[in-house]
């Protein structure tokens, strides 16, 4: 229907890729370069990897007659962000053997490793496979890792909701065997009919596709920022079904109003697994058929929804599903942060949420976090759940084991680290940006901790140290760390410069807006100091910073 005559180049690459194989095997065995061919760089995303290079090192290496320092980022498929302790141990060692050693918890509850050299990709994937982990479809124009509210203590129905993440992930996995063939030495498929894919065909989706499942009242997953958000409706501890919201996505382009951030629109409600999965599936088929395939910047579902209208989109989904969606049920979000420290869920289970700044698990001079987590995993007493705020919950610990885990966390100072982190630090998010992200215009995760250290005294000065203001930074307007959906958003415009955006609400239901354009650190600090002062003096009781700046018309709502 919307199949344009001039397809974007990526569309051609996908179609002639022979089931996402392309020239990847040849590229991997090429001895001259640490990179793979340009076209294959598009395809390898579907296998869960990005080719990157160390942008700090480009000039120096060129002078040495060396090519760029290419490496690969690999992202796991972890529906709902769950690992057994054995899988964490495996990941710990794989990270040490083949990557920079840092295990990065992403903003969508999965793990990624950076800095894999080309010849380490295959051994990495094989080692993950032995731990029953894969990276299929975690990047690329396809359904990505399915996020789901992670705290088991949120609801007695949590386990039931959580199970959907895996079901959806399996339902929407591509049928090609390329991953197994290329990386795991599976024998080549002779009869290509075996991998015929009625969902993705040979063209996959027009663009990335993200699904998140939220459990009110905690909107930790930022459910409305997904292409498809499911809001679990739980009554009396029982899962009734899901509100379905479509068309979320936070990417934008500086100076181009055609490209914008958008929160998802709730279009209906489904009850029961069969109908819910069917409706999800058909949202993807409609986007597959209606989405824009000539302009990748207009290819996300949010633009399709706005072009056709949410109503028309819903009717098409209903037509293809063979049933109508029910009226959305009421829901309310009143939290978005993680439940740090110990919490008890159910009869006999304990969970400890560890604060992990920017999701980076490593040992440094201040904290041996990676060692501590390994030791916890080695007890075999705790599972690992990752949150959309890039933290880890050591979960499902029995009462009799709680003390052992506690002792390890105490020994390595993890308890103190989590307790002592300020409210603003715990509510901060930053994307990867420099030095590996090719899109970054400015620093993010390398800079955010320093900026927060400078903001903490300002908040203290105004008596706001206890306020969990959400602050998020991204190195570009693509919004990986959901900077458009925070009370304070900092979006990189150039090296050392950011757009300061204000007015988002605390729970992820209202986007922020541009307040000051292209400013550097002194101006950022000066502006926030002034605004914190105003907020401290003039806020209403219980009023969040985001709501305050809107009410005071500091920013237009």
- Taking each helix axis from N to C end, the angle separating 85-98 and 118-130, rounded to the nearest 10 degrees, works out to 170
Among 25-33, 138-146, 309-317, 415-423, the segment contacting another protein (CB under 8 A): 25-33
CA distance 199 to 144: 14
Longest dimension (CA), the chain: 72
Angle, CA of 369, 374 and 379, to the nearest 5°: 130
Contact 250, 483 (CB under 8 A): yes
Nearer CB in complex with another protein: 53/227: 53
CB of 97 to another protein, least distance (A): 10
Is residue 63 a contact residue for another protein (CB under 8 A)?
A: yes
The binder of another protein chosen from 1, 59, 64, 188 (CB under 8 A): 64
Interface with another protein in residues 114-143 (CB under 8 A): 117, 119
Beta bridge pairs of residue 354: 392
55 binds another protein (CB under 8 A): no
Indicate if the alpha-carbon torsion angle 17, 20, 25, 28 is positive or negative. positive
Q: Are 349 and 157 within 8 A, CB to CB?
A: no
The least CB distance from residue 45 to another protein, in Å, is 22
Q: Which listed residue (360, 476, 482, 510) is catalytic? A: 476
Quick check: is 167 catalytic?
A: no
139 is catalytic: no
- 300 is annotated as an active-site residue: no
Task: Please state, in angstroms and as integers, the Cα–Cα distance from residue 143 to each residue in 164, 268, 312, 550, following that order.
Answer: 14, 21, 22, 35
144 part of the active site: yes
- Within 220-279, the residues that bind another protein by CB under 8 A are none
Q: How far is the CB of 37 from another protein (least distance, A)?
A: 12
Report the candidate in 90, 214, 89, 205 with the shortest Cα–Cα distance to residue 141.
205
Query: How far apart are CB 527 and another protein at their closest, in Å?
Result: 39
Q: Could you say which of 262, 480, 482, 510 is catalytic?
A: 480
Distance CA 270, CA 414 (A): 42
Q: How many CB atoms lie within 10 A of CB 214?
A: 30
Count of residues interacting with another protein (CB under 8 A)? 16
Give yes or no: 480 in active site: yes
Q: 26 phi and psi, to 5 degrees?
A: -65, -40
Residue 431 a catalytic site member: yes
Q: Cβ closer to another protein: 113 or 372?
A: 113
Which of 32-40, 163-171, 443-451, 528-536 is the region at the interface with another protein (rule: CB under 8 A)? 32-40
Binding flag, residue 65, another protein (CB under 8 A): yes
148 is catalytic: no
**Binding range to another protein, per CB under 8 A, among 31-39, 345-353, 379-387, 396-404:** 31-39
Q: Which is nearer to another protein, 23 or 449 (CB)?
A: 23
Instruction: Identify which of residues 62 and 407 has a Cβ nearer to another protein in the complex.
Output: 62
Q: What is the rounded CA–CA span in Å between residue 289 and residue 308?
A: 12
Among 66, 404, 407, 557, the residue binding another protein under the rule CB under 8 A is: 66
Binding residue for another protein (CB under 8 A) from 1, 31, 185, 400?
31
**Other C-beta atoms lying within 10 Å of the C-beta of residue 296:** 16
**Contact predicate 495/542, CB 8 Å:** no
Q: Which residue has the tokens 């940006």?
A: 433
Region near another protein per CB under 8 A, out of 58-66, 87-95, 214-222, 471-479: 58-66
Decide if 122 contacts 28 (C-beta within 8 A). yes
CA within 13 Å, CB half, 315: 4
Return d(Cα 557, Cα 543) in angstroms, integer.
Answer: 15
Residue 82's DSSP bridge partners are: 385
Taking CB under 8 A as the rule, does residue 100 contact another protein?
Answer: no
Query: Which residue, 68 or 446, has its beta carbon nearer to another protein?
Result: 68
> Residues in the site for another protein, rule: CB under 8 A?
31-34, 57, 60-67, 69, 117, 119
Which residue numbers are catalytic? 75, 144, 208, 210, 431, 437, 476, 480
């Amino acid at each position: 229907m919307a199949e344009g005559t001039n397809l974007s180049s990526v569309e051609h690459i996908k179609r002639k890729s022979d089931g996402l194989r392309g020239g990847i095997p040849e590229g991997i065995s090429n001895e001259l370069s640490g990179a793979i061919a340009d076209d294959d760089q598009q395809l390898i995303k579907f296998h869960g990897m990005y080719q990157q290079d160390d942008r700090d090192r480009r000039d120096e290496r060129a002078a040495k007659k060396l090519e760029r320092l290419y490496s690969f980022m690999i992202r796991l498929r972890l529906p709902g962000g769950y690992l057994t302790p054995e899988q964490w141990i495996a990941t710990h060692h794989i990270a040490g053997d083949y990557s920079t050693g840092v295990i990065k918890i992403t903003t969508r509850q999965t793990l990624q490793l950076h800095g894999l050299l080309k010849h380490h990709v295959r051994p990495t994937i094989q080692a993950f496979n032995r731990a029953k982990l894969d990276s299929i479809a975690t990047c690329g124009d396809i359904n990505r890792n399915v996020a789901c509210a992670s705290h088991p203590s949120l609801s007695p129905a949590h386990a039931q909701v959580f199970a959907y993440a895996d079901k959806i992930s399996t339902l929407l996995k591509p049928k090609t065997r390329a991953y197994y063939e290329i990386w795991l030495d599976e024998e080549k498929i002779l009869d290509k009919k075996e991998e015929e894919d009625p969902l993705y065909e040979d063209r996959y989706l027009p663009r990335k596709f993200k699904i998140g499942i939220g459990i009110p009242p905690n909107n930790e997953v930022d459910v409305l920022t997904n292409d498809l958000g499911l809001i679990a409706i739980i009554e009396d501890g029982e899962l009734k079904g899901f509100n379905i919201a479509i068309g979320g996505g936070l990417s934008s382009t500086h100076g181009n109003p055609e490209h914008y951030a958008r929160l998802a629109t709730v279009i209906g409600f489904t009850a029961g697994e069969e109908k819910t999965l069917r409706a999800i599936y058909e949202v993807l088929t409609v986007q597959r058929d209606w989405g824009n395939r000539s302009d990748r910047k207009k290819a996300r579902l949010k633009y399709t929804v706005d072009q056709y209208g949410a109503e028309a989109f819903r009717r098409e989904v209903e037509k293809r599903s063979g049933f109508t969606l029910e009226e959305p049920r009421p829901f309310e979000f009143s939290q978005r942060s993680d439940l740090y420290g110990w919490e008890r869920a159910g009869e006999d289970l304990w969970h400890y949420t560890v604060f992990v700044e920017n999701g980076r698990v490593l040992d440094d001079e201040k904290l041996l976090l990676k060692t501590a987590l390994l030791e916890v995993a080695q007890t075999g007493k705790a599972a690992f759940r990752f949150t959309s705020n890039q933290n880890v919950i050591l979960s499902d610990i029995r009462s009799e084991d709680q003390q052992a885990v506690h002792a390890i966390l105490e020994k390595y100072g993890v308890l103190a680290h989590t307790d002592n982190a300020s409210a603003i630090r715990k509510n901060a998010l930053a994307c990867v940006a420099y030095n590996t992200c090719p899109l970054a215009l400015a620093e993010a995760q390398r800079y955010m901790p320093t900026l927060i250290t400078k903001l903490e005294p300002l908040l203290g000065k105004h008596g706001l140290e206890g306020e969990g203001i959400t602050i998020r930074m991204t190195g570009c307007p693509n919004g990986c760390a959901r900077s458009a959906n925070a009370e304070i958003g900092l979006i990189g415009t150039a090296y050392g410069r950011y757009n300061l955006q204000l007015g988002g609400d605390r729970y992820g239901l209202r986007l922020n807006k541009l307040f000051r354009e292209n400013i550097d650190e002194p101006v950022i600090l000066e502006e926030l100091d002034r605004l914190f002062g105003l907020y401290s003096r003039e806020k209403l009781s219980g009023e969040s910073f985001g709501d305050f700046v809107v009410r005071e018309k500091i920013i237009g709502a």
